[in-house]
Amino acid sequence: MTRKQYKKPPLVEVFSEFFFQPEEGKEWDSFVTPSFYKKFEKRFPTRKRFNAVGIQVRVPDGRDLPEFQPFGPPTPRHRFISADEKTLIQLGENLLVVNQLPPYYGWEKYEPVVVECFDQYLKLWKPSSVARAAVHYLDKVDLPVLETGLETYFNLLPSLPEFPDKPATNLAVSYEVPGASDGDILVGIMKQAPSANPEGMSFLFQWDYVATKGLPRKTDAIKTWVNDAHDFLSKVFLNTFTDECRKLFD
């Protein structure tokens, strides 16, 4: 699909993450990490090591929305940071994450980094499969002085009963829809956030696109999947905001 570049995108963060299934009987080898970093050290000169708690996606029976739950003890994770400190590669046991912070230079510049990191991980650690993959977007929309209702800006709205002389605050909506491929789901959350403008309103939009059935251990397959995920998220983005709202991004 044709991708539009906005002059002032509402992006707070986008990140892609991959959880790998190692080959049976083979433990993850942390001593391979320097070989991974050697591929990226010129572009990501800063290195940090920290402990992190993993997050798993669980879809209970009879529930509409999946749950994101911590699991396991803290494990070492390596973070490689770009010169402008806006792009991060995170590497852990059977885990790869690529984060992008503003300014967002567009999917066309972010996606190759994701695919390159995945390919390098595949060559060095040789996992048996990708147990789970996800693309996450977090956007923040700051509305100006509201002379009209929220429907001027959003096609996704909370449905409220009438509260005479009692304005509702802390508005929130969540939903789940099937994704572009079998086993993919999109979890969307809209919630009101504190606004720096006393006469306006701010909202956070979080989209988590998850492959719950896993993916093959192939770079080309992952490249196709992340682009399909992004195209799906782009359509949801366009359908969520009205033309009037998107003027704020241009």
The DSSP string of 170-208 is: S-EEEEEEE-SSTTEEEEEEEEEE--SSTTSEEEEEEEE
Model pLDDT, residue 73: 54
Contact 205, 188 (CB under 8 A): yes
For residue 147, the SS3 value is coil
The pTM of the full predicted model, rounded to 2 decimals, is 0.86
For residue 245, the SS3 value is helix
Q: Which residues of the chain have pLDDT under 50?
A: 63-65
Ramachandran region, residue 25 (left: φ > 0; alpha: ψ -120 to 50; beta: rest): left
* CA angle (47, 45, 229) in 5-degree steps: 80
Model pLDDT, residue 60: 56
Model pLDDT, residue 36: 96
Cis previous bond, 164, omega within 30: no
pLDDT tens for 4-36 read 678 888 999 999 999 999 988 888 999 999 999
Radius of gyration in angstroms for the set of CA atoms belonging to the chain, rounded to a whole number? 20
